[in-house]
Amino acid sequence: MHVLTVDDEILSGLVIYQASDGVTLQAADGKVLRINADLIKQKGNSTESLMPRGLLEGKTSQDVADLITYMQSL
C-alpha cells in the first residue's frame, strides 16, 4: 500500500492492520509504521513489489529453487 500524508510524504509497505482510525504498515526495511487517519491525505494499493529490483538478476534457476526451499524451511 502507498499512503500520502498531509505533509506530502509517501509511505509504502505491507498492510499489517487497517482500521477506521488509521493504518499500520511494515516497510521494506522492516520498520513498522503507524499512520493515523487524520494524517492520511490519500491511500491506495501499490502495483509495485517491495522487493528490490534485479534481486534475482544473474541467478540460475537452481539458485532460485534453493532460495525458495530455504525460505519454506524457516
CATH of the domain at 11: 2.30.30.100
Confidence of residue 51 (pLDDT cuts 50, 70, 90): confident
Confidence of residue 29 (pLDDT cuts 50, 70, 90): confident
User: Across-strand partners of 40?
Assistant: 5
C-alpha closest to that of 4 among 32, 19, 31, 25 = 25
Confidence of residue 53 (pLDDT cuts 50, 70, 90): confident
The reply to whether 12 falls in a domain is: yes
The reply to whether 21 falls in a domain is: yes
Residue 62: what pLDDT?
A: 96
Which amino acid appears at position 21 of this protein? D
Which amino acid appears at position 42 of this protein? Q
pTM (two decimals):
0.65
Domain that holds residue 7: 1-47
Question: How many other C-beta atoms are found inside a 10 Å radius of the C-beta of residue 19?
Answer: 8
* C-alpha cell read off for 16: 499489517
If one counts the domains in the chain, the total is 1
